[in-house]
Amino acid sequence: MELLSEFERLLVTREEPTRTCFVLVLCWLAQCDGHLDDDERELLRNVTAGSGAEIQLEELLGIARRATLGDIQLALEILRESNPSSRKPILQLVISLALVDGHLLTVENHIVRLMADVLGLGLDGLNEAFREMVGHDFPEPDDPSDPAFFERGRGAAGGSTRASDLAALGLEGAPSEDAIKAAYRRLAKVHHPDRFASAGPEAVKTAELQFKRIRAAYERLLGA
Amino acid sequence: MRDLYRALGLASRNVDEPQLRASIERCANAELARRARAVLLDPARRRHYDATLLQLQHIARLRANLGLSSTATWTRTVAASDFDARPDGSPSRFESLKSRLALVGRAAQAAQAPKPEGMGFCGCMFWLAVLILIESAWDSCQRSSHSSGSTSSAPSRASARSPRPSTPQPVFAEPPLAQPRTGQLERGSKSVAPLAITTREGHNGYTVELFLQPHGNLRTERLAREDF
């Protein structure tokens, strides 16, 4: 019988247990579909780079893959006690990670919802945080128990580049050029790195990454 | 989202296709049967659905354990009757971790504290032997100094003993907890409370010993912190 699980062992030897818990939850979210995209890894690297305790991303990714539900629960319980003023930025980072590959899977949607509840923000707080980022309420999750989900082609892994680019701008379907420009202008204001200067270097880095992605998506959509 | 297996009355998703077909045929709910047929009888769709269902069952369990099963973010998106996981019944994981660390702290404190009642007959005999040896050594030292040096009158036995320490120096003063390899370790208390451990800037690391007593036999578990 081990006294401590692998994650608990890591937690008790780190100076920043809350941040370690946060990164573990992010790693769990990033890998919930069974693989880790380059964009997801880059965003995770930005989050861990600002840590004074030198959180080892690869170590936590491995632990997240092997983590028991008990480990995830422990991380969520500790995050529940986090500073109220940091809860919205934490949730927005979670949302950024869920959206970073351009699509929001059913499970990702539910993990974001779970995080909103864990952080005490609820559905209203989640919608508010999402509106600030994308301009509309947090979407309902897809329903794979409904055949219509597969008939829309949602069950296929990933998505088309155009769909991903539209998702990065918070759009779907066939929006007009004006709608794309308006979405870009709104998101460029929200994610401009200058807005995050007071939130610390990692927040600035994350905003820079998000800003670049939005700009790249915008240029591809208008150039296509 | 629905748990189609549960809605069909199946205990788990580990059922083969004939069992699944039979369950769908028996289903009185036409809409449910239509969904199950379209999703579960298509291997690719079923794989995707099963993977999502497993993750949602985990989330349902987490929500149950965290007391978050009835929030709008959850109940508006899943069929509550299909995902009504019960809490494990165990204390929270954080409380469990804290109690295990407290166990560690108590074990560490017990190991550090003097144990007069544990001395027993052998311990008493040991300390008696130590006292006799010290006294003999002291006397022979005094005799030797008198015979080789001063010709003055011999000091009284009491005055000769006066500079001697009243109690023997501790023999086993080594603390049972490992000390930092470099620098100093700051703890909130004498017990091990790793969640509160910090090191002073510029020091490279430390080791912490954790004690576990699973079956009456004290077992030591060593945590080594990497240098950073």
pLDDT digits (tens, 9 = 90+) for B85-142: 878 776 788 888 887 777 776 666 666 666 555 555 555 566 666 666 666 666 665 5
And the tokens for A119?
Answer: 């952080």
Distance CA B147, CA A161 (A): 103
CA angle, A146 then A148 then A153, to 5°? 120
Residue B204 forms part of a structural domain? yes
Distance CA B25, CA B5 (A): 13
**Is there a single domain that holds both residue B38 and residue B117?**
no
Q: Say whether B55 and A146 touch across the interface (CB within 8 A).
A: no
B73 in reach of chain A (CB within 8 A):
yes
**Is there a single domain that holds both residue B111 and residue B67?**
no
Give the pLDDT mean for A60-69.
87
Give the pLDDT mean for A37-64.
78
Which range, A117-131, A208-222, B76-90, B165-179, has the best average confidence (pLDDT)? A117-131
Residue B76 forms part of a structural domain? yes
**Is there a single domain that holds both residue B125 and residue B210?**
yes
**Is there a single domain that holds both residue B27 and residue B56?**
yes
**Is there a single domain that holds both residue B139 and residue B57?**
no
And the tokens for B158?
Answer: 């009491």
Residues of B in contact with A109 (CB under 8 A): 77
Q: Say whether A8 and B210 touch across the interface (CB within 8 A).
A: no
Q: How large is the ipTM?
A: 0.77
* CB of B66 closer than 8 Å to CB of B39: no
CA closest to A28 among chain B residues:
B55
Write the CB contacts of B208 (distance below 8 Å, at least 6 apart in sequence). A12, A13, B177, B178, B192, B194, B197, B222, B223, B225
Residue B151 forms part of a structural domain? no
Q: Which helix (H) or strand (E) holds B84?
A: none
A143 in reach of chain B (CB within 8 A):
yes
Q: Assign a CATH topology to domain A160-224.
A: Helix Hairpins (1.10.287)
B44 in reach of chain A (CB within 8 A):
yes
pLDDT at B41: 94
pLDDT at A60: 86
**Is there a single domain that holds both residue B43 and residue B101?**
no
Residues of A in contact with B3 (CB under 8 A): 145
Write the CB contacts of B36 (distance below 8 Å, at least 6 apart in sequence). B4, B7, B8, B20, B23, B24, B27
pLDDT, tens only, A135-145? 788 999 999 99
The parent domain of residue B118 ranges over 95-146+156-165+175-224
**Is there a single domain that holds both residue B71 and residue B100?**
no
Residue B16 forms part of a structural domain? yes
Residue B219 forms part of a structural domain? yes
A160 in reach of chain B (CB within 8 A):
no
pLDDT at B114: 60
**Is there a single domain that holds both residue B105 and residue B211?**
yes
Residue of B8, B45, B52, B211 to mutate, testing the A interface (most A Cβ within 10 Å of its Cβ): B52
Q: Which residue has the higher pLDDT, A85 or A15?
A: A85
In this structure, the number of other CB atoms found within 10 A of the CB of residue A173 comes to 7
Distance CA B165, CA B160 (A): 12
Residue B35 forms part of a structural domain? yes
**Is there a single domain that holds both residue B77 and residue B131?**
no
Domain count, chain B: 2
Residues of A in contact with B63 (CB under 8 A): 114, 117
Residues of B in contact with A116 (CB under 8 A): 73
